[in-house]
Amino acid sequence: MTFIRRFIIIQLLIFSNQGHSQNLDLKVVGENNNKTTIIDSTGYTNSFENYKDIESELNALRRKLTRLGYIDTTIDTIIRQNDTLFKAQLYIGVKINRIRINYDSNFNTELLKFVNHDYKNNENFFELDVSRLESSLEELNSKIAEQGDPFSTLQLINITKLNSDLISADLNIKSNQKRRIDKIVVKGYEKFPQSYVKRFMKLRTGKTFNLNEIKEKVELLEDLRFANKIRDPEVLFTKDSTTLYLYIEKTRTNNFDGFLGFGTNENTNKIEFDGYLDLRLINNLNFGETLNLFYKSDEIDQQTFRVDADLPYLFGSPLGLQVGLNIFRKDTTFSNARQYAKINYQINAQHRIGAGITSTNSTNLLDTDTNILNDYTSNYYTLNYNYTKPQFYDPLFPVNFWFDLSSGFGDRENDSSNENQTVFNLDTYKIFNLNSKNSIYTRLNGALLTSDNYLDNELFRFGGINSIRGFEENSLVANLYGVLNTEYRYRLSNSIYVHSVLDAAYFENRITDTKEKLFGFGFGLGLLTNAGLFRLNYSSGKSENRQFRLSDSKVHVSLTATF
């Protein structure tokens, strides 16, 4: 303990029996008025409840001035002016603006790119502003820790003054044993798929230990529907091993979605009903798999059945497999059966690409074939890209941005011809959050089939609640179409919102030589209940050459349940 520190403590003890119930004031001055102004600019505390706090504040002030470049700062005297006022005399000396830090040949100079410094090639030193010295050394130490040495320390030794504006010091790095991840343990959800640890979060044993990088990768769990992070990861260091603990919980992600729609038939003036069910089972086998089952029957006697399975990270590899079957039947006219298989590669948490094959068999159910309706088979090689940006913190709108683009190249064969064809599909939507209550939803959905000639049973069918609203389900037939859906959404609470409906569409049908523009108008309501998300839509559609009629309006009711 220095003489000055002993002197301070003795003085504080002498006066410690006085004024316990009164505040004590501190005035600090330098060796001249200019130096006092510099001290005042630091904003030190000048009112205290006891004498020990005065000593702590003076030591903190000395360290602060040292970091500013006044490295000779010392506390000369403390004088009691009266019962409540103490005056401290500091010597701060001349400000040193620069420091030259010398390092040995083993120092990794790549680390210097993380600090603001002056550096010359072939010189074993770099220079810093003294005011940035502490933060720069902390940054260097952090980067060294990221290279697998979390217990490294930095010291400046052999500090000397080179001139009135520059001091020199040697950088001493005390390294410990470099650490690698030896074991990864999942707590809370012990059956969490190991392939997601290795491939999705890219955490694996044998990798250099970097805590900051680990925390960033664990945050990727926020992009998963079936798991959440409980708390930050923890690490157990022993003499010769490093164990990483991840705290994860399994969440409910299975979805059941269905709706009931009804409207008046313009020919019979009777109410007709239509509806669908959409069942999605996610991660029930603890492999991160997804199983979809979809069935829809609408008011114009059309049925759709679709089942597909998505198996990510097959056998622990970065590749996934997606297979499916889609059957569509239109009354007693035709039936299509489409099978597909696709290999997916998950680039990261948001981006995925895929390649596969698709085969379709169509059967004419009528007694005779025509030049626009007959049996055919088609085979395509497909490419796909998908981007997903979730916001799972919002149960009403869990996905903020979705983009899915696919293309197919192949041919269609029937009794009369063999046609080369290409097909493109786009489905994307985005939510623009204006503030906590207001948002705008936009969706663009479309498809294009190119061929020298077309069959009616191969064209796209669209319209309805998941397409352009205000029209019957799958009542529109086209070889090219595009639909723009927009909603202005106002959130009444965390579980209720209302929205507008404003849709527009354009389609072409080469068989009937039709080109038409369509519009949909209406409003809707969404309510998050214990059973799931309940939605009610009222909408009416009109074509470019057809007047708006209230009798054509459609009411759609749906419920998406999570279990």
Q: Which residue has the tokens 């072939």?
A: 122
Residue type, 211: L
Q: Which residue has the tokens 């790549």?
A: 110
β-bridge partners, 508: 480, 515
| Digit-coded pLDDT (tens) for 209-253 | 888 889 889 988 888 889 999 999 999 988 888 999 999 999 988
Mean pLDDT (whole number) for 392-416: 92
What strands lie across the sheet with 183-187, from one edge to the other? 183-187, 242-250, 227-237
Q: What is the mean pLDDT of the chain?
A: 87
What is the C-alpha separation between 127 and 144, in angstroms, rounded? 19
Here the tokens at position 361 are 């068999």
How many Cβ atoms sit within 10 Å of the Cβ of residue 336?
Answer: 18
C-alpha dihedral (183, 234, 217, 141), degrees to nearest 10: -100
β-bridge partners, 376: 362
Instruction: Tell me how far the alpha carbon of residue 131 is from its chain's centroid.
Output: 37
- pLDDT of res. 137: 84
Greatest mean pLDDT among 41-50, 141-150, 290-299, 439-448 lies in 439-448
Task: State the DSSP code for 21.
Answer: T
- pLDDT of res. 387: 96
- pLDDT of res. 361: 97
Judged against a pLDDT cut of 60, whether residue 160 lies above it is answered with: yes
- pLDDT of res. 11: 54
What is the C-alpha separation between 321 and 507, in angstroms, rounded? 33
- pLDDT of res. 20: 47
CATH 2.40.160.50 fits 282-562, yes or no: yes
Instruction: Tell me how far the alpha carbon of residue 323 is from its chain's centroid.
Output: 27
Among the CATH numbers 3.30.360.10, 3.40.50.720, 3.40.50.300, 3.10.20.310, which is that of 98-174?
Answer: 3.10.20.310
| Digit-coded pLDDT (tens) for 330-345 | 988 999 999 999 999 9
Instruction: Tell me how far the alpha carbon of residue 178 is from its chain's centroid.
Output: 32
- C-alpha distances (whole Å) from 95 to each of 69, 134, 305, 395 are 5, 16, 80, 57
Mean pLDDT (whole number) for 278-306: 89
| Digit-coded pLDDT (tens) for 313-372 | 998 899 999 999 999 999 889 999 999 999 999 998 899 999 999 999 999 998 888 889
What is the third-level CATH fold of 183-250? Ubiquitin-like (UB roll) (3.10.20)
Q: Which residue has the tokens 């700062």?
A: 73
CATH 3.10.20.310 domain range(s) in the chain: 98-174
| Digit-coded pLDDT (tens) for 509-550 | 999 999 999 999 999 999 998 878 888 889 988 887 777 666
Which residues are CB-neighbours of 360 under 8 A, at least 6 positions away?
336, 337, 338, 339, 376, 377, 378, 379, 458
What is the third-level CATH fold of 3-91? Ubiquitin-like (UB roll) (3.10.20)
- pLDDT of res. 498: 97
> What's the full length of the chain, in residues?
563
Report yes or no: 223 and 350 within 8 Å, Cβ to Cβ: yes
Judged against a pLDDT cut of 90, whether residue 286 lies above it is answered with: yes
Judged against a pLDDT cut of 80, whether residue 167 lies above it is answered with: yes
Here the tokens at position 458 are 């191969």
Mean pLDDT (whole number) for 63-79: 86
- Sheet strands (E) in 298-398: 302-311, 319-330, 334-346, 351-364, 376-390
Residue type, 20: H
Judged against a pLDDT cut of 70, whether residue 8 lies above it is answered with: no
| Digit-coded pLDDT (tens) for 449-490 | 999 999 999 999 998 888 999 888 888 999 999 999 999 999
How many Cβ atoms sit within 10 Å of the Cβ of residue 556?
Answer: 24
